[in-house]
Amino acid sequence: MVKAVVLGAAGGIGQPLSLLLKSNPAVTELGLYDIVNAPGVAVDLSHIATPAKVQGYLPPDDGLKKVLTGADVVVIPAGIPRKPGMTRDDLFKINAGIVRDLATGIATTAPKAFVLVISNPVNSTVPIVAEVFKKHGVFDPKRIFGVTTLDVVRASTFVSEVLGDLSLTTSVTVPVVGGHSGVTIVPLLSQSSHPLPSGLQQSTVDDLINRIQFGGDEVVKAKDGAGSATLSMAYAGAEFAGKVIRALKGEKGIVAPTYVNLAADKVGGEALKKELGKDLEYFSAPVELGPNGVEKINGLGKITPAETVLVKAALPDLATNIEKGVTFVQVPK
Ligand code: NAD
Ligand code: LMR
């Protein structure tokens, strides 16, 4: 029995993500919560002939408490998206408070649930969830994840495009590490399951890296004020949630890049910090998942000198973003 909950379920990501979770036969109960329209979305989805029992809640009458009761996996896509010209960090002002309040609900009602954070800026919202859990004495770093899967999905697609064969997209895997914004997104192309041709022009490789790092901007620009990636994000969120659920049910050997607190695996986390040459608290690394969440944090592996430069370039922004999230909860204004 697995109860999955979506907080922000009526939104651009929330609706298709809820659809995909309803389509996952491993989900037996699906709880939807939003400040608008969640009961309507729930009734709509409830007609789909898959096992999950769906229920939707609004804030009145303890809706948040009700939806979170018995939750195993909570996915959070609640919050505002970017418009052209904005950075993800520009969303902090509004989204930090939304995530803090939802995290408070989870910490008090479902402290053992796995929390999958989609709301931006992920580099800061994950530390916010962790700090709220610490305040409530229920922090377990193994159970809180920043969802960076869209970067991995984009890397598979864009690499396949460069290889000239889109049919490869489902088999191409490229680890993407660091964080989830601009230069903190670091694709390790040298570890692609399908290597790039050796004769490829450097400018093509540079463009590919840039496209993976700024893929979000491509969508924001194309939507022209109507928001950011929703459908591809729902796909990515369902992929990652699906992996977490399979691991929860005992499947072994599932590895996925995700932004975690490096204390989640002390040995792996410390080794990674040494590789980075910086005492960062959070980093997106390939993580082995298990029934208790983070089983093992893998290191960067063998990377090229050019990739070392990209990793180093990610560190200052990451440190600033993490500090901003931590301070928001520790020193409330
Ligand atoms: P949206 O505006 O379409 O939907 C957000 C939903 O959150 C709305 O339905 C809104 O009512 C709801 N909401 C707002 N405050 C809430 C609260 N306190 N409790 C519950 N629900 C609340 O936005 P979207 O396009 O779905 O994007 C949502 C977030 O996901 C944004 O912050 C966006 O930047 C982020 N995002 C992250 C990734 C990623 O890779 N991690 C990818 C795409 C988007
Ligand atoms: C993305 O990568 O598409 C998301 O983080 C949304 C955004 O603001 O770009």
pTM confidence score: 0.98
Instruction: Answer yes or no: is pLDDT of 291 > 80.
Output: yes
Q: Is 185 in the pocket of ligand 2 (CB under 6 A)?
A: no
**Site of tokens 């983070």:** 294
* 135, 111 contact by CB (below 8 A): no
Nearest CA to ligand 2 atom 7: 216
Instruction: Answer yes or no: is pLDDT of 189 > 80.
Output: yes
Residue 227 and residue 237: Cα distance in Å, rounded?
Answer: 17
Residue 118 and residue 311: Cα distance in Å, rounded?
Answer: 22
* C-alpha of 314 from chain center: 17
Nearest CA to ligand 2 atom 5: 216
pLDDT tens per residue across span 114-137: 999 999 999 999 999 999 999 999
pLDDT recorded at residue 332:
73
Catalytic residues: 180
* C-alpha of 260 from chain center: 10
Residue 238 Cα to ligand 1 midpoint, Å, equals 15
Residue 286 Cα to ligand 2 midpoint, Å, equals 20
> Is 3.40.640.10 the CATH classification of the domain at 3-146?
no
Q: For 148-328, CATH number?
A: 3.90.110.10
Domain boundaries, the chain: 3-146, 148-328
Q: Select from 94, 147, 183, 219 the residue to mutate for testing ligand 2; criterion: most ligand atoms less than 8 Å from CB.
A: 219
Binding-site residue numbers for substrate are 82, 88, 120, 154
Proximal ligand: closest to the CA of 213: 2
By percentage, how much of the chain surpasses pLDDT 70?
Answer: 100
**Site of tokens 């989204």:** 95
Q: Is 82 in the pocket of ligand 2 (CB under 6 A)?
A: yes
Are the folds of 3-146 and 148-328 the same? no
Are β-strands 293-297 and 144-146 bridged in parallel, bridged antiparallel, or unpaired? Answer: unpaired
Q: Is 4 in the pocket of ligand 2 (CB under 6 A)?
A: no
Q: Is 130 in the pocket of ligand 2 (CB under 6 A)?
A: no
Instruction: Give me the chain's average pLDDT, please.
Output: 98
pLDDT recorded at residue 168:
95
- Average pLDDT, integer, range 231-242: 98
Residue 75 Cα to ligand 1 midpoint, Å, equals 11
- Average pLDDT, integer, range 206-232: 98
